[in-house]
Amino acid sequence: MPGCTLKTKARNFETTTLGLLEALDVRVHELPDWYCCGTTYSLASDNLIMHLGPIRTLLKAKEAGRPELLVLCAMCYNTLRRAQALVLADPEKRDKINAFMYDEEVDFQGGEVRVVHLLELLKERVGFEALRDRLVRQAGELKIAPYYGCMLLRPREIAIDPSSEDPSIMEELFGACGVQSVYFPFKTECCGSYQTVNEKPIVVSRARAIAASAVKNGADLIVTSCPLCHFNLDFYQKQIQEATPGFRTIPVLYISQILALLAGQEEANDFSLHAVDPRPVLRERGLLG
């Protein structure tokens, strides 16, 4: 289970997931020496060096005898799946990439390790019904806006849902757990991604539109699985509120944070990592004591 931001800004995502999986009797082991995935997949035909990180991580999973690699971060999911698809489709590039792996004893052929996102694990291995049976709290009137962003859905070849434009895996998951999802036309719109570093106005504008759509459609929370979407949607809301009369802030939580609360694991959530405090609305909806 790799992911750099899961150790810092997105600690909540990792701790609540680990607690939840323990409650579901799913045993996971962190890969001892995973590499940075590069976060954004290189799109230039000859830039193979950019694929070494993800492929090396897959190779390490193969060496460790792990046929499945669980990922939480949507950016890890995207780069790992696409680098794997490249190696599978192009033997010449596969051989060139493997030629860089001089410290590793085995090669990576492409199909030895399956990259599994948390949503896929919950759907295919645990099962939404079985997950519901482990929950101890009712979601009551809680309404969420499921936000997919880009990296779980595009390009189509690696999408976790049959539809890149109107996915429903999160609605199915939360629906099975008794949580209502609202109509949310911005659920697959880009948050502005890494433009948050030097083109902030783009991201602020995206965050305003996405958050406003969730609020307008009656959501209490936005739910995501991408640490970069989380940052972009959460962090800028305070300044948007100051600049935009009538703008209402909305907390942004990871999938696993809500599920952990429903499973009765309050302590796994560290709400100090949120810019928009989710505690008031969670208390109001009876999910937090």
Partner 1 sequence: MRIELSRQALLSELREQVKDLSEQNLLACYQCGKCSAGCPSIEAMDVMPSQIIRWVQLGQIEKALQTKTIWLCAACQTCKVRCPRGVDLARIMEALRQLVLRDNVDYMHPNRIPAEDLEELPQIALIANFRKMTP
Binding site for partner 1 (CB under 8 A): 4-5, 8-10, 36, 38-47, 50, 73, 75, 150, 153-156, 164-165, 188-190, 192-199, 201-202, 205-206, 227-228, 231, 235
Dihedral sign computed on CA atoms, order 123, 127, 129, 132: negative
- For the bound state, the minimum distance from the C-beta of residue 55 to partner 1, rounded and expressed in Å, comes to 16
* Nearest to 61, CA basis, from 43, 94, 84: 84
Residues contacting 169, CB < 8 A, separation 6+ = 119, 123, 160, 161
- DSSP E strand boundaries for the chain: 68-71, 114-117, 143-146, 180-181, 221-224, 252-254
Cβ closer to partner 1: 180 or 195?
A: 195
- For the bound state, the minimum distance from the C-beta of residue 235 to partner 1, rounded and expressed in Å, comes to 7
Residues contacting 118, CB < 8 A, separation 6+ = 17, 70, 71, 72, 225, 255, 256
Cβ closer to partner 1: 92 or 105?
A: 92
Cβ closer to partner 1: 110 or 227?
A: 227
- For the bound state, the minimum distance from the C-beta of residue 272 to partner 1, rounded and expressed in Å, comes to 14
User: What is the end-to-end Cα distance of the chain in Å, rounded?
Assistant: 31
Cβ closer to partner 1: 8 or 136?
A: 8
Q: Distance of CA 40 to CAs 28, 162, 234, Å?
A: 25, 22, 21
- For the bound state, the minimum distance from the C-beta of residue 240 to partner 1, rounded and expressed in Å, comes to 15
**In 3-state terms, what secondary structure has residue 30?**
coil
Which two tokens mark 235? 């962090």
Cβ closer to partner 1: 232 or 269?
A: 232
- For the bound state, the minimum distance from the C-beta of residue 39 to partner 1, rounded and expressed in Å, comes to 4
